[in-house]
Chains A and B, each alone.
Chain A
Amino acid sequence: MYEGAVQDLIDELGRLPGIGPKSAQRVAFHILEADGEDMKRLADAITTVKEKVKFCAICFNVSEENTCRICQDSRRDPSLLCVVEESKDVMAIERTRSFRGKYHVLGGSINPIAGIGPDQLHIRELLSRLSDDTITEVIVATDPNLEGEATATYLYRMLGSIGIKLTRLASGLPVGGDLEYADDVTLGRAFEGRTVMS
């Protein structure tokens, strides 16, 4: 145990995701040894992000204003809505530059054992957004893992009857990999989602 401020810093760093006691100690000592101005910038950045950044009132993406830049952008196609789990998924899709619609961030995925059900996600707000006729297609882009698939199944159950086109991102073999190393679930998905070449 260290004394006072150093131990406080280690304890606080240790509460961050993915940082155990050893890593917390290493980061704390890096902060102690680093340039004071650099660490002041880090502290300011943390303070600023907590003061300024909030969630968009429409899509729940992170934003410094009441509505995010994507929701404000009139050049985007309002008829397409991509449903993702987290804000970082919006960034991943934006990097592809192939989607020009809008987003809805659920804030996670359905995980019953962790106590996360539909009521803990922004699904009710999604249904509200679909109540007018502007949106014609909802693209479900939840993670291709079990919780993501379960969330997609639940969304299909909720949205399947309201007449909006509901699509799911394709999944299959990663580009650059060898077929022999593919696991059977992924390979099975690739077969189900095969496309016509001619």
Chain B
Amino acid sequence: MKTCASCSRTSRRDFLAGAGAFGALAALARRGDAGVRVELADVALRSTAKAVIFVNLMGAPSQLDTFDPKEGPWNPNDADLQPLGGGLVLSRKLFPQLSRFGSDLLLLHNVSSWEAAHERGQFYIQTAHQANPAFVAETPNIGSVVSHERTLAGVVGKLPAFMALDGGGGGGIQGATFLGGRHEPLDAPTGSFDTIRHDYFGNDSQRRFGERFGLLKSLEAPVVASPSDPLLTRHIEFYDAARPLMYDPAVEAVFQINGEERSRYGNNQFGNACVVARNAVRAKLGVAFIQITNGGWDTHQSMFDRSSFNSMYRLTEVLDRGVGMLVEDLKASGDLAQTLIIIMGEFGRTPGPLNASGGRDHHRDVMPVAMLGGGVKGGRALGASDSQGARVVEPGWSKQRPIFPEDLTATIYSALGINWTKRILETPTGRIFQYVDGASFGTYTSVDEVFG
């Protein structure tokens, strides 16, 4: 069990005070936003990605039946495990699309998780912090941190930097907490994003909306000119932030899916989410972190029973087709090189043979992770687990231990050019928020081996 890392360590590193960079943004300063004091260490950032797509497989997929397959009696007869070079092996039955992108694909066989419970695990992979009820209200989503950093860097587009897409069966998303409403995820429905549209007047809608919006601004002008309370002005500011999203063909196009795409991506909610993610990346409207959730991976039973709704056949068919087409399309448009895709759940599943119900139960010590794009060097597997998929036996990187989701988060930050050692020294309750729990003190670090 992890002890409170902040309490038991004193750092002997030299910290650069990053305070100076934030003075200019004092105008945006509010409770917990830019303008608060930070500390960070001098680390090399890879800055290879403009955007990250985090495919969150809720429920915790089995490593042996996804990205760390091994020969063994537990495999179904049609598994068709194929080596793709560099230590990569995939079931061609379950992952026909991803198998085509072997040279881009990096499979991590050396990742462990600290959690074995779903809610705690989900919180953990969404925030790179241990689920602690005392701090939940002040632990923002990784995506919100990315959005915050993008704002600090002045890299802001029409769309919020953090987008959350529900690819079916998803659960809760941790929000921006103290970083503020500006960094909440754009929780865009993948069916159709109705609320960017005000189309109650047919072809006349844009004009009508423009007029009523103007009326609203006129009526609010006295409040803006002489605010009685900052809460009110802050609220009004969001209207100005939201307005540009409307009636903008470029923004609309991000959320539109035509019939051909829908069908090519698998004709399901996850595929639709992948189309929107692709569009968001290509549109370059400021989206820097997209989380796509896909549920059903908690396969305690009937994994290879085709009649079961959550059989591996169905789950991987949806995943493989959606991500496969996403990768194909991003490659075609030249965007893959700057888009880091990471696919993982919150922990792994029991190794070796299946359980008595034909499934697998929770297992922390080995969990499946796949990465592509955004500077990732593909065509290989990193590290190794044992023949049963039970323990990491070859760390495969500079540290003599498995990789943890904290390290993966640091890696993502590094790819985005964000200093993962940063910590905000004053949350609203006066605590410290480390971007990655333990990374300020060097416990966890970016996995440079991912980049080659």
Query: Do the two chains belong together in a single complex?
Result: no
B interface residues (Cβ-Cβ under 8 A, vs A): none
A interface residues (Cβ-Cβ under 8 A, vs B): none
